Amino acid sequence: RLFIKHKGYSPVYVEDMSNSKAKILSMPLQGVAKSGKTYPEFNAPQEQIIKQAQEGDENAYKEIYARYCRIVYSIAYQMLGNHIDADEVVQETFIRVFKNIGRLRNSKSFVSWLYQISVNLSIDHRKLRTKRKTLPIDENPEMFAFFEFATSRHVKDPSQVLENKELLEQINIAINELPAQQKAVILLHEVEGLSKKMISEILQCSLVTVRTNLHHARKKLRRTLLKYLKS
């Protein structure tokens, strides 16, 4: 349901345990991200794909990448606000996934494990950046939901105000200024639509912590945006 703007190809390096050499899976991420296309000859249940990947099946690696690159890219892009860092997180995420998938005991926990890796890497990238980079909000349409949420009680027609470029920029700045944990929680809940329980598993924290971060993030966004609207 999310439109992903991407340059084209994002290589993923996979360690080949059989000969200790690195293989490259070069996938057209733009096409996959827009269509959610998977390999027709490998249209198998997730549990089977995970099992075959654990056995070193390269087609299973490709299928996992095709199925989940869009969601990983979406998380990274929402967290970091630019395509370059998001690309890096996508690559690092799948490197870790393919290197450690043999240790995954329960295939049903694969998705939450994947989320956990991508979110943690995105948080690490945010911490390493010396300067915050912001992306114009008109290139990031998913963030419009935050504006509608934060102002719906105070503005009769939010769509009219969305035409104001300065306001859109303020929305982007407000979201980027949230602490990493709060931003992760609100993006996973409001944009990705994940339950609080799943978010607690991904971030490895309690439900209380998730609710607290969500409450504070919403409060900060409302305060920042309403202050700007009043001015």
pLDDT digit string (tens) for 53-68? 999 998 999 999 999 9
Q: What are phi and psi of 16, to 5 degrees?
A: -90, 105
| Residue with more model confidence, 80 or 170 | 80
The overall average pLDDT reported for the chain is 73
Closest CA to 146 of 191, 192, 82: 191
pLDDT at residue 191 in the model: 77
Contact (Cβ atoms closer than 8 angstroms) between residue 25 and residue 14: yes
Q: Is the pLDDT of residue 35 over 80?
A: no
Query: Could you give all domains of the chain from N- to C-terminal order, each with its CATH number?
Result: 9-128 (1.10.1740.10), 137-230 (1.10.10.10)
Q: What are phi and psi of 177, to 5 degrees?
A: -85, -5
Integer Cα distance of 6 and 33 in angstroms:
9
Contact (Cβ atoms closer than 8 angstroms) between residue 203 and residue 119: yes
Contact (Cβ atoms closer than 8 angstroms) between residue 85 and residue 25: no
| Residue with more model confidence, 229 or 24 | 229
pLDDT digit string (tens) for 110-142? 988 999 999 999 988 887 764 555 444 444 544
Q: Which helix (H) or strand (E) holds 135?
A: none
| Residue with more model confidence, 7 or 162 | 162
Q: How confident is the model at residue 185 (pLDDT cuts 50, 70, 90)?
A: very high
Q: Is the pLDDT of residue 210 over 70?
A: yes
pLDDT digit string (tens) for 93-106? 999 999 999 999 88
Integer Cα distance of 202 and 149 in angstroms:
24
Q: Residue 216: left if φ>0, alpha if ψ -120 to 50, beta else—which one?
A: alpha
Q: Is the pLDDT of residue 21 over 70?
A: no
Q: Is the pLDDT of residue 172 over 50?
A: yes
DSSP-assigned letter for residue 187: I
| Residue with more model confidence, 200 or 172 | 200
DSSP H helical ranges for the chain? 29-35, 46-54, 58-80, 83-100, 110-128, 144-151, 158-161, 165-176, 180-186, 196-203, 207-230
**Terminal CA-to-CA distance of the chain, rounded, Å?**
35
Integer Cα distance of 135 and 5 in angstroms:
13
Q: What are phi and psi of 23, to 5 degrees?
A: -105, 155
